Structure 1
Amino acid sequence: MNPRLAAARALTPVLLGKASLGTTLPEYLNRVAPRDRGLAQELAYGAARWQPRLSGLAEKLLQKPFKAADKDLEALLLIGLYQLFYTRIPAHAALSDTVGCVDALKKSWGKALINAVLRRAQREGQELLTTLEHDPVIRTAHPRWLQKSLKAHWPEHWEEICAANNQHPPMTLRVNQRRISREDYLAQLQQAGLAAQPCTFSSDGVQLDAACDIQQLPGFAEGYLSVQDEAAQLAAHLLEPKPGQRVLDACCAPGGKTCHLLEYQPQIAELVALDLEASRLKRVQENLDRLQLSARLIAADARNTAQWWDGQLFQRILLDAPCSATGVIRRHPDIKLTRHPEDISALAELQGQLLDALWPTLAVGGILLYATCSVLPTENREVIAAFLARMQGARELDLGLKCGLTQPQGRQLFPQINGHDGFYYAKLLKVAAQPRVQEKLS
């Protein structure tokens, strides 16, 4: 399959709000020649990354918008525009190869349209974009609801956050120091001709100067390393599990933090890893097997403790809560298309429900680490503030982090500072098995 067609096919359901690139793209990549898969992936992710900007330009170039039934043509047009403005592909090749894909969509009427719009974009597009720069949606390539939210919450940082979201993320590794020291692994990378630097805040982290196929990494199959962003690597160090403790990793898939907890503390008595979807636990098990680690995996809704909890208390809980993922847009740019403003309040409610459900499973003196990959306070400090207000037996602990910004509750990490993803952490100590405030008053 033509890589441009594959990218457009994968992008179409994303534009319709029915799927993410993570679910649609693999199927089409399998139909593309191996040498062209990188191009197909770059076009799909690039068009998603710059979609608000490209769609704003397309609106000026088209006489009327595409109908829902013709989103495949719209996707192909965005792929074409992305090539013209954000790649080094020669314009004639971008035009001819993109227009040539229309035949496969079985919409012959669209061929002249795509050709005319792309040719006009080639002539007038840069000037048109300049005239549209006054609109922050076009300038930042972020949907209006998200741009406004970031500006409202982070007036001094929002444009930098948006700019970071539009960059390609670094490839960061977590060294399994049960098997090899970070210094020795850096030496192995150097011998393999792969330039890398130690991370600043994670003592297990290594950042590659340039991304590569994981199979090129020395020791990957042997379990010497995992691919994990530096911000996510901080979770195990912040939770600090001790020998003999029982640990819960709620919402664990794909298992990066699960495995890191076991690497960090090999003498954990038991690690229980929960996820709502059994299919996602397969990936967790694959990671455990590769790293020669063991955990008890359970497919269940963490809120329904009667479904999965055996009544034995945990001394440590990691709640990496479902969130908007607005801190990892640079890795998943289709979040700009798949997330909507009404999602945020629903996610905050879910996060509060998870905290309430898991707190009774934590022993007195135990620690719960709350984490999200969001940069929106509605899902972060506001959730923790509300929880602390209603749960008298909870106390916030200092994280001791030097990265990010201190918040009234917890600490916010941003993608534009230090090169790691956007993340939020709050550390809670259970000082007493006290009832919730409203229960005590009743």
Structure 2
Amino acid sequence: MKPLPLPKQKNLRADCAWVIYQILEQGKSSRECLERVQRRHNARDNAWLQEMSLGVMRRLPLLQHWLRALLDRPLKGNKKVIEHLILLGLYQLNFSRVSNHAAVGETVAAASYLNAAGLKGLVNAVLRNFQRENLADKPVDDAIINSGLPKWLYKAIEQAYGAEADNVRAETNAMAPIWLRVNRQQVSFSAFTEALDKAEVKYTLSESHRNAIVLSQREDITGLPGFEKGHFAVQDGAAQLAAHYLQPQANERILDCCAAPGGKTGHIVECAPDTEYVLALDADATRLKRVEENMTRLQHKVDIRQGDAANPESWWDGKPFDRILLDAPCSATGVIRRHPDIRWLRKANDIDNLAQLQRRILDTLWGLLKPGGTLLYATCSILPKENMAQIQQFLADTPDASLSPILKTETPDKPGRQITPGEQQMDGFYYARLVKSQD
């Protein structure tokens, strides 16, 4: 699909339609697209842009089903974006708090900002017909459309989880809570919760995570008490398990591989502040800036380097590591509830390619690990090919690797812990802990 320039004049709905177009037609991430349009709007409008564009991603199959019933023929070329504007209008009418009058009127007006004033009549007719025909009240007898997922992912979850598949799919579409990790190097847990209480921030404590807080509603993170002083980091409960499972100790050399944006790196330092050396490695220079910002705010000292994990010659000093956290590149199917665009950016054939990359990195990093050292393999995926099957094969192929169980039920044939979305309010994640033999 031909690239579409950002509308010359800012308009809330036109800009939102442009974001949707960029994700679905150009394969861009929501984060990248939203950053561009949000520079043009105020904080309130930015929240609306995010809610609407990501809402369309969650409900896309149903919205497209309605669109096909209402539109005589698909729009083409530089008019294609108007289909995305109509999807936005349909979402507003059925899934948002926007009044029907504004959902129709303002969406129609936005066509002019997308150089399609001649299609305003079409947009109006489609949205009015949707209301007139009461399409939202007519049940759709298609499980895949109702799931909000692409067909390949719907079937992959079915195959992996069987009787639990419906629950996994439902939780994949749920809204994820915001978790905070209290940085006890800078503030006590009690002092931090007292500050939240004073600011009237509503939260709950986690039964399974000692330093964690789960916010009860969406908050401006930068406005929370202690943000500038590094009193906390935003980190999902599943991701907070990484440092605990890695078990960093004093006077060790530790590698956090694929570290951006640095949440796990910071937690490693907080769990073992007197460890000898922590290296945060990532291939993406732009994302490494986030690591630098987070380590500065949290007041942690680590070595931050850009490098390809599969080619250590460019960044490794030749000294083996006591512990390695490999947060492997993956499909991110476990965090779709946070990033609903992922479901449309990932394709079925990506999984095999990612599994091959994961294995290549795993084999490489194993050579950088000391005898007796520990490697924690982690992904934010819920697909077995990237997780349990990956570790099963690695253990079978690697004589000096053995499983260090996280759960009592683990065996080399069923290694690791698979967390599904929504389990104890956490994201979908997988962990497997491996130990290198002394011989």
> Normalising by the residue count of structure 2, what TM-score does the alignment of the two structures yield?
0.94
Measured against aligned partners, the alpha-carbon deviations of 1:285-328 in whole angstroms (never above 9, x if no partner) come to 00000011111111110100212111101000000001010000
- Describe the SS at the equivalent of 1:327: helix
1:63 has 2:56 as partner: no
Call closer, same or farther: CA 1:125–1:410 in 2, change over 3 Å.
farther
Paired residues for 1:41-80 under 5 Å:
41-67=50-76, 69-80=78-89
Question: Which residue of structure 2 aligns with residue 212 of structure 1?
Answer: 219
Measured against aligned partners, the alpha-carbon deviations of 1:100-146 in whole angstroms (never above 9, x if no partner) come to 1000111233211111111111223445751x2x2122111101010
Hey, what's the Cα distance between the residues in 2 that align with 1:233 and 1:201?
11
Hey, what's the Cα distance between the residues in 1 that align with 2:323 and 2:192?
30
State whether residues 329 and 358 of structure 2, in contact with CA within 8 Å, keep that contact through their aligned partners in structure 1. yes
Question: Which residue of structure 1 aligns with residue 335 of structure 2?
Answer: 328
Q: CA deviation at 1:333?
A: 0.3
Question: Which residue of structure 1 aligns with residue 296 of structure 2?
Answer: 289
Measured against aligned partners, the alpha-carbon deviations of 1:179-204 in whole angstroms (never above 9, x if no partner) come to 22323322221111011111232211
> How many matched pairs?
430
Call closer, same or farther: CA 1:86–1:218 in 2, change over 3 Å.
same
Question: Which residue of structure 2 aligns with residue 239 of structure 1?
Answer: 246
- Describe the SS at the equivalent of 1:16: helix
Q: CA deviation at 1:178?
A: 1.6
CA RMSD of aligned residues (A): 1.9
Q: Which amino acid is the alignment partner of residue 426 of structure 1?
A: A
- Describe the SS at the equivalent of 1:341: coil
State whether residues 94 and 136 of structure 2, in contact with CA within 8 Å, keep that contact through their aligned partners in structure 1. no
- Describe the SS at the equivalent of 2:374: strand
State whether residues 147 and 169 of structure 2, in contact with CA within 8 Å, keep that contact through their aligned partners in structure 1. yes
Call closer, same or farther: CA 1:240–1:124 in 2, change over 3 Å.
same
- Describe the SS at the equivalent of 1:155: helix
Q: Which runs of 4+ in 1 moved over 4 A?
A: none
Hey, what's the Cα distance between the residues in 1 that align with 2:76 and 2:367?
51
Aligned-residue identity in percent: 41
Call closer, same or farther: CA 1:386–1:335 in 2, change over 3 Å.
same
Paired residues for 1:5-84 under 5 Å:
5-67=14-76, 69-84=78-93
State whether residues 392 and 413 of structure 2, in contact with CA within 8 Å, keep that contact through their aligned partners in structure 1. no
Unmatched 5+ stretches in structure 1: 434-442
Question: Which residue of structure 2 aligns with residue 311 of structure 1?
Answer: 318
* Equivalent in 6, 9, 13 of residue 4 of structure 1: 13
Q: Which amino acid is the alignment partner of residue 105 of structure 2?
A: S
Hey, what's the Cα distance between the residues in 1 that align with 2:376 and 2:174?
29
Hey, what's the Cα distance between the residues in 2 that align with 1:227 and 1:121?
40
Unmatched 5+ stretches in structure 2: 1-9
1:101 has 2:110 as partner: yes
State whether residues 394 and 432 of structure 1, in contact with CA within 8 Å, keep that contact through their aligned partners in structure 2. no
Hey, what's the Cα distance between the residues in 1 that align with 2:346 and 2:80?
18
- Describe the SS at the equivalent of 1:428: strand
Hey, what's the Cα distance between the residues in 2 that align with 1:298 and 1:70?
44
Question: Which residue of structure 2 aligns with residue 413 of structure 1?
Answer: 419
Higher alpha-carbon deviation: 99-108 or 175-184: 175-184
* Equivalent in 113, 120, 129 of residue 120 of structure 1: 129
Call closer, same or farther: CA 1:67–1:401 in 2, change over 3 Å.
farther
Question: Which residue of structure 2 aligns with residue 439 of structure 1?
Answer: none
- Describe the SS at the equivalent of 1:319: strand
Hey, what's the Cα distance between the residues in 2 that align with 1:126 and 1:107?
26
1:399 has 2:399 as partner: no
- Describe the SS at the equivalent of 2:323: strand
State whether residues 17 and 337 of structure 1, in contact with CA within 8 Å, keep that contact through their aligned partners in structure 2. no
- Describe the SS at the equivalent of 1:173: strand
Call closer, same or farther: CA 1:262–1:68 in 2, change over 3 Å.
farther
State whether residues 179 and 213 of structure 2, in contact with CA within 8 Å, keep that contact through their aligned partners in structure 1. yes
> Normalising by the residue count of structure 1, what TM-score does the alignment of the two structures yield?
0.94
Hey, what's the Cα distance between the residues in 1 that align with 2:136 and 2:50?
28
- Describe the SS at the equivalent of 2:406: coil
Hey, what's the Cα distance between the residues in 2 that align with 1:17 and 1:219?
39
Hey, what's the Cα distance between the residues in 2 that align with 1:407 and 1:43?
44
- Describe the SS at the equivalent of 2:110: helix
